[in-house]
Amino acid sequence: MPPWLLSLELAQESGFLQQEFGFVVLLSIAAVVAILVRRFVRLPYTVALVLVGLILSIFPNFLGLNVSSDLILDLLVPPLIFEATLQIRWSALRRDLVPILLLAVLGVIISTLIVGQIITLVLPEISLLAAVAFGALISATDPVAVVAFFRSLGVSKRLAVLVEGESLFNDGVAIVIFTLVLSLASAGSTASFSLGNAVFQFLLVSLGGFGIGAVMGLTVSQAVLRHVDDNLIETATTVALAFGAFVVAEELQLSGILAVVAAGLFVGNIGFQNTSPTTRLTLINFWEFLAFVTNSIIFLIIGLQIEVEQFRVFLLPILVAVFAVLLSRAVVVYAITGISSRLAPRNLIPVSYRHVMFWGGLRGAISLALALSISDRNFGAQVGQELQVMTFGVVLFTLVGQGTTIAPLLRRLQLSKRPSQRTSQQRQQALLYAKRMGKQELERLQGEGILSPEIWRAISDVYGVEIEFHEQQLQDLMLAHPELEMEMVLQAREDALRAERTAISDALRRGLIAEEVHNELIRETDNRRAALDEIIASQRTRPGVVTAAPQDESDGMAEAEA
């Protein structure tokens, strides 16, 4: 082999290893941040990642990562959007589909025009096309940021669907508008612009992308998830679907993001009904893990890409951009939700919801990726850099400023407050558990001869009275609120089934049962778990029944309607 060819291969291998090492370091940092946030710091996980990324950005070329628009949009965003849409039920989405689509389509258009107009008025060095391009890339709320935040907050299911649904649809719309504006900028003139042609292209790209994803999602749901009972094959197929829908749509010059949204909706609402409970659990666990990994990398990258030193140079443009984004968001949210509520009074969107929808309009990875895609030939090097720094400033403000204050806002509006009877129930259960553990410890100390019988009897009698008191308190609470007892029964049954599944897997590892027997017993256990999930879901949707917030912090979304 010629020496120059050997040197080229070594350089390529070294570059790949450097990128791989960089991602390993990022994942390690994300894991450490997650541990610290969970145990010590009362801060949203995603905000903590951004702040850590900002700190690391002080070191020039940290890890040597090559972060590009393609890396974010093509590799990291599709799995996050697919996982988010898997969790959205069509029945919940259908209720508020009209306001969601109005916000996602009309809202983005209005916001783009408002932001563009303000930018051109205050910052004359930025041309109209450049201002509109910035308005498009910054107007869409980012599903990566929004879903991550709202899953960590206890909000009603309807409010979560409103905010998440809008963010999943409007980013595809924003990308289409941004692409159209860039094509005009590349042409060098707006003389060839035609409103009719622009509307046609917009509808073609948006609806075409959604249609591609719908066809592919329905095909996978009916052909694979229904007829192939193998959790590994079915999981691999959904991964191929998430990236394949994006790639196919983009190759056809359609919206890849909307294709992924459609594919995820069809798998989550049709595919999950066709497959076995075991496969369903495998799919959910896998996509939750993949979403955590990609989410962590994206928010660290956001922090790494922001150069704080540039904020001083472009402070005025950043302040103007933040003002324009907040103003346009307020106009869009309050106007469209007000009109929607007047047209459909039975489906009224509460004013408190509108406040959260306004302040919860976070920007993140999508805006960052689109800003990075702006090249010198579009609007010139100086304006291109200014637009990127403005984008970074808005993203940082929404993630840190709005992200850290949205939880207090929810509490102030009483949208994340747990019912008082549930708080009382959990308090009595915790005290009862603690007193019983204390009494058991006394039994151990007395049995080992550390405590004399007289001391043991005196303290034990006090514990006995306290245990009896808390048992009575809990019993009175159950009589006053019967739904709490049903929830405790269902939760206990769910914990028991989880323990059974673990025991069956442990029996296989110990060699007590054959793999065939293991698979059969696991399927039976998962079938019972699926039936229990249906009962729990029916309990949560019964009118007048207050339901518990999910126990798993990764779910993070209260099912109770405010």
Provide the token pair at 270.
């049709």
Flag whether 548 is in a domain: no
Q: What is the mean pLDDT of the chain?
A: 81
- For residues 172-195, average pLDDT: 76
Give, for 161, the enclosing helix (H) or strand (E): helix 157-187
**Does residue 556 register a pLDDT over 60?**
no
Residue 241 pLDDT class (50, 70, 90 cuts): very high
For residues 211 and 323, membership in a common domain is answered with yes
For residues 381 and 431, membership in a common domain is answered with no
Query: Phi and psi of 124, rounded to 5°?
Result: -65, -20
Burial of 429 (0-12, 13-18, 19+ CB in 10 A): middle
For residues 386 and 463, membership in a common domain is answered with no
For residues 244 and 328, membership in a common domain is answered with yes
Q: What SS3 state is found at 475?
A: helix
Dump pLDDT digits (tens) for 512-555. 888 888 888 888 888 887 777 767 656 554 444 433 333 333 33
Flag whether 15 is in a domain: no
Number of Cβ within a 10 Å radius of residue 152? 19
Residue 277 pLDDT class (50, 70, 90 cuts): confident
Question: What domain count does the chain have?
Answer: 2
For residues 418 and 435, the model is more confident at 435
Flag whether 560 is in a domain: no
**Does residue 303 register a pLDDT over 60?**
yes
Flag whether 558 is in a domain: no
For residues 399 and 504, membership in a common domain is answered with no
- For residues 336-351, average pLDDT: 86
**Least confident piece of the model among 2-11, 138-147, 323-332:** 2-11
**Does residue 407 register a pLDDT over 60?**
yes
Provide the token pair at 26.
């990022």
| Residue owning tokens 């983005």 | 108
**Does residue 511 register a pLDDT over 70?**
yes
For residues 426 and 335, membership in a common domain is answered with no
C-beta separation of 400 from 50 below 8 A: yes
The domain boundary residue, chosen from 364, 388, 412: 412
At 497, the amino acid letter reads L
For residues 388 and 425, membership in a common domain is answered with no
Provide the token pair at 300.
């660290």
C-beta separation of 65 from 22 below 8 A: yes
Flag whether 13 is in a domain: no
For residues 110 and 489, the model is more confident at 110
The domain boundary residue, chosen from 356, 384, 412: 412
Specify the CATH number for the domain of residue 40: 1.20.1530.20
- For residues 272-289, average pLDDT: 82
The domain boundary residue, chosen from 381, 412, 443: 412
**Does residue 10 register a pLDDT over 60?**
no
For residues 361 and 427, membership in a common domain is answered with no
For residues 401 and 426, membership in a common domain is answered with no
Dump pLDDT digits (tens) for 105-150. 999 999 999 999 999 999 998 998 999 999 999 998 876 666 666 6
At residue 106's C-alpha, the angle toward residues 68 and 114, to 5°, is: 75
Q: CB neighbours of 453 closer than 8 A, spacing ≥ 6? A: 446
Q: What is the DSSP letter of 414?
A: T
Dump pLDDT digits (tens) for 443-478. 888 888 888 888 888 888 888 888 888 888 888 887
Flag whether 16 is in a domain: no
Flag whether 164 is in a domain: yes
Q: CB neighbours of 125 closer than 8 A, spacing ≥ 6? A: 382, 383, 386
Q: CB neighbours of 330 closer than 8 A, spacing ≥ 6? A: 358
- For residues 35-50, average pLDDT: 78
Flag whether 477 is in a domain: yes
pLDDT at res. 2: 52
What is the per-residue DSSP string for 226-257? TT---HHHHHHHHHHHHHHHHHHHHHTTS-HH
pLDDT at res. 548: 37
**Does residue 62 register a pLDDT over 90?**
no
Residue 263 pLDDT class (50, 70, 90 cuts): very high
- For residues 315-326, average pLDDT: 94
- For residues 73-101, average pLDDT: 86
Which residues span the domain enclosing 204? 22-412
For residues 91 and 176, membership in a common domain is answered with yes
For residues 193 and 108, membership in a common domain is answered with yes
For residues 366 and 484, membership in a common domain is answered with no
- For residues 216-243, average pLDDT: 90
**Does residue 259 register a pLDDT over 90?**
yes
